[in-house]
Amino acid sequence: MAKSKKNVKRKEDRRPAEAAPAAPEGQNAPKTPPKAPPKARQKSDAERRKDRIDGIIKTVFPSFLGVLAGFGCFYGGSAVSQLPWHFVLLVLILVTYIIQKFAYPFLKIEVADFQGKDWFYVEFMAIDLWLVTWTLLLN
């Protein structure tokens, strides 16, 4: 039986890809490579110092609120124990959010620059320290 040679390709049969014909000057000039995104501008020493201080304040203030809430729940345990736990959690989130929203301008922090992740971070710090403090006091 003879083998079919339909799909058999040899190296000799392959041709190198032909280059596209060059466009005359003025028409379809070669495209420039895409530009890289602009680099972030360098911050001055004063700006870096202010950002660092703001970051410390954004960490310490919600932590202080969380510890304060933990002590409040411990010493006001009779009132808190009658409420469902999720209600206490939601009220705490709302109260710490409102306190922080109005207290940060007094601490010279721009609240308008806060994004969702910033609010999530400060609220997480407050809730986390509330739970840790309350748990330690209960034990």
pLDDT at 121 > cutoff 70? yes
For position 64, what pLDDT does the model report? 95
Each residue's pLDDT tens digit, 29-59 = 666 777 777 777 788 888 889 889 988 999 9
Distances 40 to 13, 20, 37, 43, 124 between C-alpha atoms, Å: 53, 39, 9, 9, 29
Cα–Cα nearest to 97, from 85, 82, 111: 111
Taking only the tens place, the pLDDT of each residue in 6-16 is 666 666 666 66
Cα–Cα distance for residue pair 110/64, rounded to 1 Å: 19
Segment 67-115, tens digit of pLDDT:
999 999 899 888 888 888 889 889 999 999 999 999 999 998 888 888 8
Quote the CA–CA distance of 53 and 9 in Å, as a whole number.
70
More confident residue, 3 or 133: 133
Report domain extents, the chain.
Answer: 46-138
**Predicted local confidence at residue 131, as pLDDT:** 93
